[in-house]
Amino acid sequence: MATQDIAVVIPVFNEEGNINAIVEKLEMVFRGLPEINYKIIFVDDGSVDSSLPLIMKLCQQNPRLFYISLSRNFGKDNAIIAGLQSVKADAAISMDADLQHPPDLIREMVKCWQEGYEVVYAFRKDKNKHARFLTRLRSYLFYKAINAFSDVKLENGISDFKLLDKKVVEIINKLPEERPFLRALVKWVGFKQKGLEYEPIARHSGSTKYTLENLIKLATQGLTSFSTKPLTLAIYLGFFFSATSLLYFPYVMLSLYFHWQRTGSGWASVIVSIVFFGGLQLIILGIIGLYLGKTFTQGKNRPRYIIGTSNIENEKKFFTVVISMNLISCVPEYAEFPLT
């Protein structure tokens, strides 16, 4: 079988304790896949620990290792995209640096790809024994919310551990999403996809980078990127509450007529309805604002990430000038100057 090139893209945000371990583990896995010519691209997402110096050192020793260092923290999805955009291989694999994505699954992923699947994604088994109850509940609610509202269906526990064929990578790279939600985008592009279940393992070193706040951000990003259903929900809510408040109107008229209430009473119900409907309006305005904010940020057309340094040879654009003419052979001699 002819050799095939695979690039493993690993986003790194303060993972100094995991870099050596993941390189070793990947080397072991690919030793069992001699037909695969692999390389590992670390995308440093603005780490403040010693991850980057460590990666740079390893890159000097190992020709299979590459790095891209982003100028600051741009978030995991953008870091993966930065890696994918530099990939020149037949397929790319994205995985976390903390070894929670079992590298051994790569063998099966590659097998599925060689059988013709263009996307092979991994999702966690339901029982994530290593996560605390609250973390599991958070994750469960996260996927429930996404699936309830968005048009793309995600398996509970679907991860960013996936293998993408070259043509899928090319398409993902061209999508102009300002805040890509990769898990759903990969599902959305279609092609022949296969999901593989995996047993999550405990983090090798360090702690999770996702706080509750990050997860809420990710969920709203997921919802608003893939569905306009929340806007429709806002309209339904608006209708529902205006209809119920209309029912209140005949009650007020009748109570006036039959003197059910003495003058001066009703203060509580007025306040309650003002607060209630004020809140409802704010919720609806907020939902609309979320979408408006998205078009605003997208409209600015800013790059999704900025590369600080990298050892990946970009196709540098050169301009060539004839600097002299060899008079004997009549062959011009050129010099190349980088454009940037």
Q: Which does 79 bind (CB under 5 to 8 A by kind): Mg ion, ligand UDP, none?
A: ligand UDP
The correct pick among 39, 76, 124, 162 for binding ligand UDP (CB under 6 A) is 76
* Integer Cα distance of 127 and 254 in angstroms: 58
Q: How many residues of this chain bind ligand UDP (CB under 6 A)? A: 16
Place of tokens 């903390």: 98
Q: Which of residues 87-106 bind Mg ion (CB under 5 A)?
A: 96, 98, 100
- Token pair, residue 311, equals 């050892």
Cα 307 to the chain's mean position, in Å?
18
* DSSP designation for 263: T
Pick the closer one to ligand UDP by CB: 53 or 190: 53
Cβ-contact 22, 97 below 8 angstroms: yes
| Partner from ligand UDP, Mg ion, none binding residue 146, C-beta < 5-8 Å depending on class | none
128 touches, from Mg ion, ligand UDP, none (C-beta below 5 to 8 Å by class): none
Residue 124, contacted partner among ligand UDP, Mg ion, none, CB below 5-8 A by kind: none
Site string (31-70) toward ligand UDP, x via CB under 6 A: --------------x-------------------------
CB-based contact 50:289 (threshold 8 Å): no
Which of Mg ion, ligand UDP, none does residue 154 bind (CB under 5 to 8 Å by kind)? none
Question: How many CB atoms lie under 10 A from the CB of residue 262?
Answer: 7
In angstroms, the Cα distances linking 4 to 44, 46, 155 are 26, 31, 29
Q: Which of 100, 221, 224, 227 binds ligand UDP (CB under 6 A)?
A: 100
DSSP 210: -
Question: What CA–CA distance (Å, rounded) separates 23 from 51?
Answer: 13
Q: Tokens 């003495």, residue?
A: 262
> Applying CB under 6 A, does 73 fall inside the site for ligand UDP?
yes
| Residue with Cβ nearer Mg ion (44 or 98) | 98
What is the C-alpha to C-alpha distance for residues 273 and 235, in angstroms, rounded to an integer?
Answer: 19
Q: Is 75 in the site for ligand UDP (CB under 6 A)?
A: yes
By the criterion CB under 5 A, which residues form the site for Mg ion?
A: 96, 98, 100
> Residue numbers of the site for ligand UDP (CB under 6 A)?
11-13, 15, 45, 73, 75-76, 79, 96-98, 100, 208-210
